[in-house]
Chain A
Amino acid sequence: MYRSLFPRDLFAEVDRLQRELQQSFDTVSPSIRGFARGYPALNVGSTPKSVEVYAFAPGIDPARIEINLERGVLTIEGERARTLPADDGKATAHINERFEGRFRRVLSLPDDIDPAAVNASYRDGVLHVSVQRRESAQPRRIEVQ
């Protein structure tokens, strides 16, 4: 009886609604979707052999980015220098949207990563951290004798 109150595809409807809402947000202000979750924005992906983390952190001295991996938790920390002029009355900031100051982002990695095999590179303002998975955790084909 309770069930009849719900149309059968309610969840599909909610899902569709949610997607439409998200899409309308996307077209109006993609910047909010893209950068509102903190600085730097992160993209994460994985391959059978590694976990790849991309941090969109433009305008930072690579030597001053601190990357720590402790108990499977990856922390990316640093500071972004101020580009706005000192408030001396000689210059006016009309738009001030870019991030400045200290940042810190934390993400937990899968259990099978190898903490000793981490590579980090910085190019065109994107920090790429590649963490290898442990050899033993990689899928293996087992031969039948």
Chain B
Amino acid sequence: MSNQSVTQTPEQASPSREEPALLPPVDVIEDATGITLYADLPGVPKDRLNVRVEGETLLIDADLVLTVPQDMQASHAEVQRTHYRRAFTLSRELDPDKVSAELSQGVLRLRIPKAEHAQPRRITVQVA
């Protein structure tokens, strides 16, 4: 991963957290030069987001941080977990070393470019 905006925190680095997590909704868009992925991660500050590539798997792990008054009693909760997790399998033509990520207002935008050899090329026809 070659991006500073994605920070790892030690407690998230362990991949063994298998308790049920929120599955963030995503949009995945492919164009000629790569794939753009948007994920909704409301309540996730930059330092609690962990995006990494392990082999062919792209993993998104994030913690929902909500500041609530100490004496608050929940009366209705549609979001009941505090962890987001989702994984995707990358195909071979994507370049896992060039993934860039930005997080803004709870939306993660990932750009995964296609590898050099998979980029579209225009072949010039030689006139003999």
Q: Which residues on A are within 8 Å of B, measured CB to CB? A: 26-27, 29-31, 33-35, 37, 40-48, 50, 52, 54, 56-60, 83-85, 90-99, 122, 124-126
- CB-CB under 8 A from B71, the residues of chain A are 47-48
Assess whether B105 is interfacial by the CB under 8 Å rule: yes
Please tell me the size bucket of the interface on B: 35 or more
Which segment of B8-16, B52-60, B77-85, B110-118 sits at the interface? B77-85
Verify A46–B75 contact, CB threshold 8 A.
yes
What's the dominant secondary structure at chain A's contact region?
A: mixed
Verify B30–A31 contact, CB threshold 8 A.
no
Verify A125–B78 contact, CB threshold 8 A.
no
- CB-CB under 8 A from B68, the residues of chain A are 45, 52, 54
In the docked arrangement, what's the CA distance between A31 and B24, Å?
Answer: 7
- CB-CB under 8 A from B69, the residues of chain A are 45, 47, 50, 52
- CB-CB under 8 A from B76, the residues of chain A are 42-44
Q: List 26 A-B contacts (CB under 8 A).
A: A31-B24, A34-B79, A42-B76, A43-B66, A45-B72, A46-B75, A47-B69, A48-B71, A52-B72, A58-B40, A58-B41, A59-B104, A59-B107, A83-B27, A84-B29, A85-B31, A90-B32, A91-B29, A91-B30, A93-B27, A94-B29, A95-B26, A96-B27, A97-B26, A124-B45, A125-B43
Verify A98–B25 contact, CB threshold 8 A.
yes
The distance from the CB of A34 to the nearest CB of chain B, in whole angstroms, is 5
Assess whether B1 is interfacial by the CB under 8 Å rule: no
Extra contacts besides A59-B106, A95-B27, A124-B43 (9): CB < 8 Å: A37-B78, A54-B68, A56-B78, A57-B106, A58-B107, A91-B29, A97-B27, A125-B43, A126-B43
- CB-CB under 8 A from B75, the residues of chain A are 44-46
Query: Which of the listed residues A30, A85, A96 has the most CB atoms from chain B within 10 Å of its own CB?
Result: A30
Verify B79–A56 contact, CB threshold 8 A.
yes
In the docked arrangement, what's the CA distance between A38 and B43, Å?
Answer: 17
The distance from the CB of B98 to the nearest CB of chain A, in whole angstroms, is 19
Verify B25–A97 contact, CB threshold 8 A.
yes
In the docked arrangement, what's the CA distance between A98 and B42, Å?
Answer: 12
Partner of A124, one of B25, B42, B73: B42
The distance from the CB of A84 to the nearest CB of chain B, in whole angstroms, is 6
- CB-CB under 8 A from B32, the residues of chain A are 90
The distance from the CB of B26 to the nearest CB of chain A, in whole angstroms, is 6
